[in-house]
Amino acid sequence: MNADEDPGPHEYSARLFLKPLAFPSIDPKLEIGTDGEVAADNLLSDLTTPGVDGSVEALQKRYAEITEQESGINIVPAEAKILAKVIWPLRHAKVSYVLGNSVGTIALCGMAGEMLALLIFDVHRPKFAGSPIEAKDEKGIFGREFEKLGQERRLKVLKTLRVLKDEHYDRFTRLIWIGRSTPSWVAGRFRLEAEQRTPRMADGLS
C-alpha cells in the first residue's frame, strides 16, 4: 500500500467501565429504583468492590472468615480516644473485608496498629533514669516526639523499654510488612476471586 492510499475504515474495541465512582442504587441522577425506594441487594452490590461477589451469602461467608480470626474483643472501655483511634478503625477494616475491599482492610489495620502503639506508650509511660518519660523529654531521648517517630522506630523503642513483648512486637512488624506488600497481595487476591466468578473477568485483570 502506498503512503497516499486511504487505508479505509478501522474497527476498534475497548472495554469500558461506566461511572466507576457512582452508586446507582442511591444516586438520584441515575433514577434507579421505583418511587425513591432502594433495593437492599442493589445497594450491597454498589458498596461491594467491583468484581467481588456482593450477594448476602458471600458477605456472610467473608464475615465468618474474618470473625474467626478475632482474638475475642468483647468489652472495651467506652473511652472516646480508644474507640476513635483503635476500635472503630478495626470495625471499619472488618466492614471493608466483608465488602471485598482488601486495600481498605489493610490500610485501616495499619492505622489501628499505629494508634495502638501510641496508646501503649501513653498508658505505660515508660521510665527513663527512674522517672516516667514526660512529653517534654521525648525529643531529647528519642530525637523527636514519640508520636512523630516512624512506626518501626516506635516499636523498637517500646520493645527496648520492655513495654512490648517479643510476640507482640513480631505481630506489629508483620502488619507493617503486609502493608508494604499490599499492591501485589491485593492484585493476587482480586484476580483469584475474579477467576472463581468468571474466567472472562479474570482475563481483564491480566
What mean pLDDT is predicted for residues 185-197?
Answer: 52
- Closest by Cα among 138, 93, 86 to 114: 86
pTM here is 0.70
Instruction: Say what the pLDDT of residue 115 is.
Output: 92
| Rounded-to-integer distance, Cα 116 and Cα 86, Å | 6
pLDDT band per the 50, 70, 90 thresholds, residue 170: very high
pLDDT digits (tens, 9 = 90+) for 4-30: 666 666 677 888 878 888 888 888 877
Residue 136 has pLDDT above 90, yes or no: no
- Closest by Cα among 30, 24, 26, 54 to 38: 26
